[in-house]
């Protein structure tokens, strides 16, 4: 098995690992136009039940 000829610097290691850390971020959160609560994009608002200015789910 081949071994590296030189030691990788801390900067090079951090650059390589930085791409992996980007994938751990939380997906974007948008505000509901009806109630203003935060919600995931392209999903029904869990607080008021609206999606694209229409009430889709009745929330109790």
Residue where the block lists tokens 């200015």 = 53
Q: What is the DSSP letter of 34?
A: T
The residue ranges of every structural domain in the chain are: 30-59
pLDDT score recorded for residue 49: 92
| CA separation for the pair 37, 47 (Å, rounded) | 7
Helices (H), the chain: 10-22
Tokens at 60, concatenated: 């109790």
pLDDT tens by residue, the chain, 60 residues: 899 999 999 999 999 888 887 777 667 889 999 999 999 999 999 999 999 888 888 887
Per DSSP, the chain holds a count of helices (H) and strands (E) of 1, 4
């Amino acid at each position: 098995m081949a071994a590296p000829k030189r030691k990788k610097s801390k900067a090079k290691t951090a650059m390589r690992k930085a791409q992996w850390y980007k994938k751990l971020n939380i997906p974007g959160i948008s505000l509901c136009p009806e109630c203003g609560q935060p919600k995931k994009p392209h999903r029904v608002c869990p607080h008021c039940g609206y999606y694209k200015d229409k009430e889709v789910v009745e929330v109790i």
